[in-house]
């Protein structure tokens, strides 16, 4: 008998029928003897619908009122799910974030959880009830409703699991686990049985959208075993956990992440002097533009080139900043490319294996794919390539690192 926190996302509670199916599943967990706290999202599309209503009234509604509005989506699902449970003879009680008392700071629309009072939940669990909690929302010290940022129900679930010292936090979603890469790009992509927190964080920040990044960080920090699994299909899903002996035998590379959301800019012929990186990047960060990869060339004749990547949406604005800077610095030229993509291989196994980068570069070179930028960390190597080669690159790397299943190879 275990204490489980189970989270169901928007598609899993997207209609009355689906809510009933979730209730069936929860009753089964109860009958197996588990204590269950459930966290739900709003019905799929609901949060977007509410935001659109607000935007019909004004372009930038105040964040406080936005939170009052969007938190209603989850309030609907907790009530409906509790009813569906009760209909099945399974005792249940719904809680909004403020009724639990999920205390957050006052940063509306992106609040952070500060404390969770678990007494109400414990009381109900002791009486044999299923506790149904609204995800994504909390309350600040003044009683204002707050929300945790888009996708925040994952974070609610992990935070509750940490507070209750649950045996596992299970995230039920529309995919049946974390894959070696996006199955829409590589047919042979395979579900991973386990992945480490570190790898999952890299995969999430590199574009894999299975879990909210903050939820993974939180789970790693508070040591909450986290499992991603399908609410539509039976299966073990993927367990996100710490590195241990069993992960030692893991392959060198666990997964391949990619994203098309980047653009790169180069300012060339700038003076190679102390402070030049600051001169170039400060105005960019002052404009609230996030910079990802950065490369500065070895200088020649006291001049150098400087290249970096930004989100594709920020390309035009960054270019304007650089054009202005170029005349101030007497730079030779500013060039940009917004048809690039970033592909990354991720794996804790890289720490103990040499030659991983070579293998990656060889696979890309065999396909005639030109690498434009490279960056590495302890468990990741990322390259920037032309967007048109993205699928080809992901497929080539997936097979170079033998991530295919035995069956898929036979196909
Ligand atoms: N309903 C919120 C959203 O759509 C929170 C969540 O689903 O996790 O972002
Ligand atoms: Mg979600």
At residue 208, φ and ψ (nearest 5 deg) are -75, 125
Element (H, E) at 315: helix 315-329
Assess whether the C-beta atom of 97 lies below 6 angstroms from ligand 1. no
**If DSSP codes are grouped into helix, strand and coil, which group holds residue 217?**
helix
255 CB within 6 A, ligand 1: no
**Ligand 1 center to 47 CA (angstroms):** 7
In the prediction, which pLDDT does 352 show?
84
**Residue ranges for the chain with pLDDT beneath 70:** 207-208, 245-250, 405-411
In this predicted model, what pLDDT tens digit does every residue of 371-383 receive, in sequence order?
Answer: 999 999 999 999 9
The confidence score (pLDDT) of residue 204 equals 81
392 C-alpha to ligand 1 centroid (Å): 33
The percent of residues above 70 in pLDDT, for the chain, comes to 96
* Mean pLDDT, rounded, of the chain: 93
* Residue 382, ligand 1, Cβ within 6 A: no
Contact 269, 331 (CB under 8 A): yes
Q: Specify the length of the chain in residues.
A: 411
Q: How far is CA 79 from the centre of its chain?
A: 27
Chain-centroid distance, C-alpha 133:
21
Q: Which is nearest to 266 in space by CA: 300, 299, 294, 298?
A: 294
Q: 3-174 adopts what CATH topology? A: Carbamate kinase (3.40.1160)
CATH number of 256-409, picked from 3.10.20.30, 2.40.50.100, 3.30.2130.10, 3.40.50.261: 3.30.2130.10
Q: Which ligand 1 atom sits nearest the alpha carbon of residue 156? A: 8
> How far is the C-alpha of 310 from the C-alpha of 322, rounded, in Å?
13
The whole-number pLDDT of residue 405 equals: 67
Q: Is residue 41 within 6 Å of ligand 1 at its C-beta?
A: yes
User: Does residue 77's CB lie within 6 angstroms of at least one atom of ligand 1?
Assistant: no
The alpha carbon of 319 is separated from its chain's Cα centroid by a whole number of angstroms, namely 28
Q: Does residue 14 line the site of ligand 1, with CB under 6 A?
A: no
The DSSP result for 245-260, as a single string, is: HHHHTS-S--EEEEES
Residues by chain with Cβ below 5 Å of ion ligand 2: 9, 151
Strand duo 303-311 + 291-296: pairing: antiparallel
- Is 97 within 8 Å of 133 (Cβ atoms)? yes
Does residue 75 have its Cβ closer than 6 Å to ligand 1?
no
pLDDT at position 64, please? 98
Measured between alpha carbons, how far is 100 from 92 in angstroms, rounded to an integer?
14
- pLDDT of amino acid 207: 65
Q: Which residues contact 77 (CB under 8 A, 6 or more apart)?
A: 13, 19, 40, 41, 42, 43, 134
* d(CA 138, ligand 1 centre) in Å: 13
- Tell me if 331 sits within 8 A of 268, measured CB to CB: yes
What is the residue-wise DSSP string for 99-157? HHTEEE-S-TTS--EEEE--HHHHHHHHTTPEEEEETTEEE-TTS-EEE--TTTHHHHH
- What residue spans define the domains of the chain? 3-174, 256-409
Phi and psi dihedrals of 206, rounded to 5?
-90, 5
Tokens matching residue 18: 């689906």
Centroid of ligand 1 to alpha carbon of 296 (angstroms): 39
């Amino acid at each position: 008998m275990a204490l489980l926190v189970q989270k169901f996302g928007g598609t899993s509670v997207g209609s009355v029928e689906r809510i009933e199916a979730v209730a069936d599943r929860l009753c089964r967990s109860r009958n197996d003897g588990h204590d269950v706290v459930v966290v739900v999202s709003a019905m799929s599309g609901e949060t977007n619908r509410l935001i659109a209503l607000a935007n019909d009234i004004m372009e930038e509604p105040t964040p406080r009122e936005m939170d009052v509005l969007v938190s209603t989506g989850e309030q609907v699902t907790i009530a409906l799910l509790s009813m569906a449970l009760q209909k099945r003879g399974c005792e249940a009680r719904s809680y909004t974030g403020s009724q639990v008392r999920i205390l957050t700071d006052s940063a509306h629309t992106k609040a952070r959880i500060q404390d969770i009072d678990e007494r109400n939940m414990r009381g109900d669990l002791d009486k044999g009830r299923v506790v149904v909690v609204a995800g994504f929302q909390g309350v600040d010290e003044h009683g204002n409703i707050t929300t945790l940022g888009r996708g925040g129900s994952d974070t609610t679930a992990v935070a509750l699991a940490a507070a209750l010292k649950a045996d596992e936090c299970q995230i039920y979603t529309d995919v049946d686990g974390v894959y070696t890469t996006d199955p829409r790009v590589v047919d042979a992509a395979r579900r991973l049985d386990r992945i480490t927190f570190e790898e999952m964080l890299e995969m999430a920040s590199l574009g894999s959208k299975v879990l909210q990044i903050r939820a993974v960080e939180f789970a790693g920090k508070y040591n909450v075993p986290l499992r991603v699994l399908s609410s539509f299909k039976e299966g073990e899903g993927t367990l996100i956990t710490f590195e241990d002996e069993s992960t030692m035998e893991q392959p060198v590379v666990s997964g391949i992440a990619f994203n098309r959301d980047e653009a790169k800019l180069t300012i060339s012929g700038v003076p190679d002097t102390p402070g030049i990186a600051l001169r170039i990047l400060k105005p960019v960060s002052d404009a609230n533009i996030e910079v990802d990869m950065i490369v500065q060339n070895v200088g020649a004749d006291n001049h150098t080139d400087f290249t970096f990547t930004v989100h594709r949406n920020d390309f035009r604005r960054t270019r304007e900043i650089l054009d202005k800077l170029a005349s101030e610095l007497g730079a030779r030229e500013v060039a940009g490319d917004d048809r690039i993509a970033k592909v990354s291989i991720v794996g804790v196994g890289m720490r103990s294996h040499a030659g991983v980068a070579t293998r990656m570069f060889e696979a890309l070179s065999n396909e005639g794919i030109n690498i434009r930028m490279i960056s590495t960390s302890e468990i990741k190597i990322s390259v920037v390539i032309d967007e048109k080669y993205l699928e080809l690159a992901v497929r080539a790397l997936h097979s170079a690192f033998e991530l295919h299943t035995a069956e898929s190879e036979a196909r």
